[in-house]
């Protein structure tokens, strides 16, 4: 080794790569290699040599792998490549145009619209009673959030106050939905990054959550359970036990994910420092939800602009400082735990009372009344065919969905159907924020970044 | 005399509008001070300011720079072609389209909604992407769905519909089922 230290220049014979791993011999580099000073850079080289692919030949100074790439003289050429629309990691039909300089992404442009089915136009054809079936299909991974925001917008225009029990049922469902959505993220995020067993684990717990949602609402997805004026039905027998059992199952699940992934070196390698976005960028690009919170900005509408009974329950807003993919993964993992906290409080403190407002204008008569009263039958029929009229006006209501702020801008012209029903899908705006995350990163990081944005194309394209 | 009288009525009108601005909404008051023709409206407890189309981008700049409105959270358009009833705010000349922007101030934890009226024969509004880059997609969507042209937008192309689509689907006169549903290999009506 000491001989090697004295020899410099092109005659350097490095038969072993010890010279790269020992900081004392740092100045011994084969010509063509850059002298490595910083520890970070050094570690990088060390890792590359340890991979076993490195080959130092006797007389030439070429390092076959791991060495710096020769600089191309003149203008570098960029290439545009399409990722998607049928790429397994794009969560549906998202296409991203990547402008590449070698393997580095210069620019990324999401191309959307493949799932556009004109749901906002459909919303103008449906009555306010039917509207829920439409909006629930926008963000199909957390349908309750969309139903909730639509119902709240209609209620604001109607000036209807929802009974307390309905509020708590809505909150319970919203949190169950959040759990299901974040569990789905854990599954798909794991799968996107090659942790395929994670997909099964995440799906397993999500399925349990959907089972409880099915018990309460009757459907696994697209529930149409939150209706203007309350919810569709009261909670079924045994819901408390089902919810508490679920909490235990999911708690066990997330501690398993935590053990499996959080300290995993490969996981860290793929996620830490990848896809960094700053608070300023996130705010300017209208990003919300976990993306904004990962930048160190604790903004959660449940806390900052409380709706339902969120100011009455105890939970924490999870936020981290680094704004990278790993932080977004961690935020979603810990948010599941916070949702479990809220679900437990809902079970404990669920108030008694009516599950929908007793306002004949918006509420259908009870099923039993229909058999005995002609008026009730007519009332029921009118409500479900013609719907109810909503006073002319406009309003914007926002709630915190698992992906960020989902808002509903509703314009009524005094008839039974909305004049305009616009839903602000958080994924629509979050997708834009991908650009600062992905530029100057490698292509392979693109998959991790798309996954960490967690877009649901249904609400992007609507 | 006549001039004086006219001025007096003008000032009265202005005073009247000013009275509509309640003291709690300082942002709306600031917008009213700065821009002629700005009208405040309390819509179900939410602050709404109707602006003249020419002040659209300036108002966005002012809200971001002076009033700490950190994010423009949403932008959309409403087509009022066939409204049965319409809430017409006093002082606002209603036009066919309304461009609606919802802004959110994170530091002040409050929202404000800006609305501007856009007539059917001149559907141009200044783009605010330079102020709020997040409105890039939203303005493209508004262009795609309603045909509102945002001047100064870096890439005003269709976003949801195919590039060669004719018409703007969310306009009220663009009826659904205008384009018949066709299936590949369908022999057609017999």
DSSP class of residue B85?
Answer: S
* pLDDT for position A438: 86
Least CA distance to B162: which residue of chain A? A113
Residue B188 has φ and ψ, to the nearest 5°, of 90, 175
Contact B133 A116 (CB under 8 A): no
Nearest to B74 among A407, A414, A433 (CB): A407
Nearest to B84 among A285, A405, A413 (CB): A413
Q: How far is A132 from chain B (nearest CA, A)?
A: 19
Question: How far apart are alpha carbons A12 and A422 in whole angstroms?
Answer: 69
Q: How far is B15 from chain A (nearest CA, A)?
A: 25
Question: How far apart are alpha carbons B103 and B109 in whole angstroms?
Answer: 11
Contact B84 A113 (CB under 8 A): no
* pLDDT for position B22: 53
From A201, A221, A225, select the one nearest A211 (Cα to Cα).
Answer: A221
Nearest to B78 among A287, A304, A411 (CB): A411
The CATH number that applies at residue B65 is: 3.30.460.80
Contact B78 A125 (CB under 8 A): no
ipTM for the complex shown: 0.82
Nearest to B84 among A113, A116, A415 (CB): A415
* pLDDT for position A212: 93
A284 touches chain B (CB under 8 A): yes
Strand locations in A307-413 (E): 393-401, 404-412
CATH 1.10.645.10 range(s) for chain A read 119-457
Contact B73 A284 (CB under 8 A): no
Question: How far apart are alpha carbons A12 and A415 in whole angstroms?
Answer: 86
* pLDDT for position A73: 53
Nearest to B76 among A304, A413, A422 (CB): A422
From A169, A170, A125, select the one nearest A151 (Cα to Cα).
Answer: A170
Which residues from chain B sit within 8 angstroms of residue A433, using beta carbons? 134
Question: How far apart are alpha carbons A85 and A92 in whole angstroms?
Answer: 8
Which candidate in B76, B92, B116 is best for mutational testing of the A interface (most A CBs within 10 A)?
A: B76
Which candidate in A109, A115, A124, A419 is best for mutational testing of the B interface (most B CBs within 10 A)?
A: A419
CB A180 within 8 A of CB A140: no
Question: How far apart are alpha carbons A426 and A149 in whole angstroms?
Answer: 13
Q: Which residues contact A426 (CB under 8 A, 6 or more apart)?
A: A288, A289, A401, A403, A404, A405, A406, A459
Contact B73 A287 (CB under 8 A): no
* pLDDT for position A92: 74
Q: Which of residues 200-219 of A touch B (CB under 8 A)?
A: none
Residue B42 has φ and ψ, to the nearest 5°, of -95, 105
Q: What do you get for the CA distance between the two ends of chain A, in Å? A: 66
Strand locations in B6-134 (E): 39-43, 46-51, 71-79, 97-105, 110-118, 124-126
Domain span at residue B52? 16-83+90-151
**Does residue B103 belong to any structural domain of this protein?**
yes
* pLDDT for position A165: 92
Handedness of CA A380, A386, A392, A393 (dihedral sign): positive
Contact B136 A118 (CB under 8 A): no
Q: How far is B54 from chain A (nearest CA, A)?
A: 23
Which residues from chain A sit within 8 angstroms of residue B161, using beta carbons? 113, 116
Q: How far is B133 from chain A (nearest CA, A)?
A: 5
Which residues from chain B sit within 8 angstroms of residue A407, using beta carbons? 73-74, 102
Which candidate in A93, A97, A108, A113 is best for mutational testing of the B interface (most B CBs within 10 A)?
A: A113
From A40, A125, A163, select the one nearest A417 (Cα to Cα).
Answer: A125
**Does residue B180 belong to any structural domain of this protein?**
no
Within its chain, how far is the Cα of A123 from the centroid? 25
From B153, B67, B132, B137, select the one nearest A282 (Cα to Cα).
Answer: B132
Q: Which of residues 72-131 of A touch B (CB under 8 A)?
A: 112-113, 116, 118, 120-121, 125
Question: How far apart are alpha carbons B41 and A367 in whole angstroms?
Answer: 42
* pLDDT for position A76: 61
CB A253 within 8 A of CB A205: yes
Question: How far apart are alpha carbons A393 and A227 in whole angstroms?
Answer: 20
Contact A407 B159 (CB under 8 A): no
DSSP class of residue A260?
Answer: I
Rounded average pLDDT per 10-residue block, chain B, 190 residues: 49 50 71 82 86 90 89 91 80 87 90 91 90 89 91 87 85 74 64
Least CA distance to B157: which residue of chain A? A111
Q: Which residues contact A272 (CB under 8 A, 6 or more apart)?
A: A322, A324, A325, A326
CB A390 within 8 A of CB A128: yes
From A39, A48, A46, A40, select the one nearest A18 (Cα to Cα).
Answer: A46
Contact A394 B84 (CB under 8 A): no
Contact A285 B70 (CB under 8 A): no
Which candidate in A99, A420, A439 is best for mutational testing of the B interface (most B CBs within 10 A)?
A: A420
Within its chain, how far is the Cα of A395 from the centroid? 26
Q: Which residues contact A2 (CB under 8 A, 6 or more apart)?
A: none
* pLDDT for position A341: 92
Question: How far apart are alpha carbons A431 and A133 in whole angstroms?
Answer: 25
Each residue's pLDDT expressed in tens, for chain A with a length of 462 residues? 444 444 444 444 444 444 444 444 444 444 444 444 445 554 444 444 444 444 443 444 444 444 444 455 555 677 888 887 776 666 778 888 888 888 888 888 888 888 888 899 889 889 998 898 999 998 888 999 999 999 999 999 998 889 999 999 999 999 999 999 999 999 989 888 888 888 899 999 999 999 999 999 999 888 999 998 889 888 999 999 999 999 999 999 999 999 988 888 888 888 888 888 888 888 888 899 999 999 988 889 998 889 988 988 999 899 888 888 999 999 999 999 999 999 999 999 999 988 888 887 888 888 888 888 888 888 888 888 888 889 998 999 999 999 999 999 999 998 889 999 999 999 999 988 888 888 888 888 888 888 898 888 888 888
Handedness of CA B10, B15, B20, B26 (dihedral sign): positive
Classify domain A119-457 at the CATH topology level: Cytochrome-c3 Hydrogenase; chain B (1.10.645)
Which residues from chain B sit within 8 angstroms of residue A159, using beta carbons? 44
**Does residue B179 belong to any structural domain of this protein?**
no
Q: How many domains does chain B have?
A: 1
* pLDDT for position A171: 93
Contact B70 A422 (CB under 8 A): no
Q: How far is A94 from chain B (nearest CA, A)?
A: 12
Q: Which of residues 288-327 of A touch B (CB under 8 A)?
A: 288, 297, 299, 304-305
Contact B169 A286 (CB under 8 A): no
How many CB pairs below 8 Å do chains A and B form together?
A: 109
Question: How far apart are alpha carbons A137 and B51 in whole angstroms?
Answer: 35
> Which residue matches tokens 């929908």?
A356
- Three-class SS of residue A170? helix
Rg (C-alpha) for chain A, rounded Å, is: 27
Which residues from chain B sit within 8 angstroms of residue A405, using beta carbons? 73
* pLDDT for position A74: 53
From B70, B64, B53, B77, select the one nearest B30 (Cα to Cα).
Answer: B64
CB B159 within 8 A of CB B144: yes
Least CA distance to B76: which residue of chain A? A422
């Amino acid at each position: 080794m000491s001989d090697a230290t004295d020899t410099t220049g092109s005659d350097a014979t490095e038969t072993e790569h010890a010279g790269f791993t020992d900081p004392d011999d740092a100045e011994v580099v084969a010509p063509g290699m850059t002298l490595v000073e910083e520890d970070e850079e050094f570690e990088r080289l060390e890792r590359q040599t340890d991979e076993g692919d490195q080959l130092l030949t006797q007389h030439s100074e070429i390092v076959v792998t791991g060495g710096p790439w020769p600089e191309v003289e003149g203008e570098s050429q960029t290439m545009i490549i399409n990722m998607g629309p049928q790429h397994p990691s794009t969560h549906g039909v998202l296409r991203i145009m990547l402008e590449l300089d070698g393997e580095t992404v210069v620019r990324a442009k999401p191309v959307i619209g493949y799932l556009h089915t004109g749901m906002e136009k459909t919303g103008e054809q449906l009555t306010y009673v039917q509207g829920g079936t439409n909006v629930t299909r926008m963000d199909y991974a957390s349908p309750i959030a969309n139903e909730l925001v639509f119902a709240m917008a209609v209620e604001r225009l109607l000036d209807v106050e929802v009974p307390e029990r309905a509020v708590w049922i809505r909150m319970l469902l919203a949190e169950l939905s959040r759990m299901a959505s974040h569990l789905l993220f854990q599954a798909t995020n794991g799968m996107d990054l090659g942790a395929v067993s994670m997909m099964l684990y995440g799906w397993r717990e999500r399925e349990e959550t959907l089972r409880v949602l099915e018990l309460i609402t009757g459907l696994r997805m697209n529930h149409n359970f939150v209706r203007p004026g309350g919810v569709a039905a009261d909670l079924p027998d045994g819901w408390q036990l089902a919810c508490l059992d679920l909490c235990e199952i999911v708690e066990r699940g997330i501690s398993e994910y935590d053990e499996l992934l959080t300290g995993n070196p490969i996981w860290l390698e793929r996620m830490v420092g990848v896809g960094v976005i700053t608070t300023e960028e996130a705010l300017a690009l209208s990003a919300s939800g976990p993306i904004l919170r990962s930048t160190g900005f604790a903004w959660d509408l449940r806390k900052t602009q409380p709706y339902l009974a969120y100011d009455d329950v105890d939970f924490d807003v999870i936020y981290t400082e680094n704004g990278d993919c790993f932080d977004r993964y961690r935020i979603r993992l810990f948010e599941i735990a916070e949702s479990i906290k809220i679900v437990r409080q809902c079970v404990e403190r669920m108030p008694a009372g009516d599950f929908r407002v007793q306002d004949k204008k918006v509420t259908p008569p009870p099923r039993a009344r229909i058999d005995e009263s002609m008026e009730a039958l007519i009332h029921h029929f009118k409500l479900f065919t013609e719907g109810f009229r909503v006073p002319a006006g406009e309003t914007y209501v926002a709630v915190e969905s698992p992906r960020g702020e989902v808002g509903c801008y509703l314009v009524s012209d005094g008839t039974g159907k909305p004049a305009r029903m616009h839903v602000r899908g958080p994924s629509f705006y979050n997708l834009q924020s991908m650009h600062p995350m992905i530029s100057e990163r490698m292509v392979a990081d693109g998959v991790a970044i798309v996954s960490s944005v967690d877009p649901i194309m249904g609400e992007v394209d609507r | 005399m006549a001039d004086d009288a006219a001025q007096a009525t003008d000032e009265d009108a202005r005073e009247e509008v000013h009275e509509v601005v309640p003291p709690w909404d300082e942002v709306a008051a600031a917008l009213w001070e700065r821009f002629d023709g700005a009208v405040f409206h309390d819509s179900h407890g939410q602050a709404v300011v109707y602006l003249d189309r020419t002040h659209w981008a300036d108002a966005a700049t002012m809200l971001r720079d002076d009033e700490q409105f950190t994010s423009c959270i949403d932008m959309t358009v409403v087509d009022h072609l066939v409204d049965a009833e319409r809430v017409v705010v006093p002082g606002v000349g209603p036009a066919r389209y309304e461009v609606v922007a919802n802004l959110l101030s994170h530091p002040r934890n409050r929202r404000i909604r800006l609305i501007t009226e856009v007539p059917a024969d001149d559907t141009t509004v200044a783009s605010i992407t330079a102020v709020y880059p997040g409105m890039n997609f939203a303005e493209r969507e508004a262009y795609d769905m309603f045909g509102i042209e945002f001047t100064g937008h870096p890439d005003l192309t269709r976003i949801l519909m195919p590039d060669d689509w004719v018409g703007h689907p969310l306009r009220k006169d663009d009826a659904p089922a205008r384009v018949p549903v066709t299936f590949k290999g369908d022999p057609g009506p017999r």
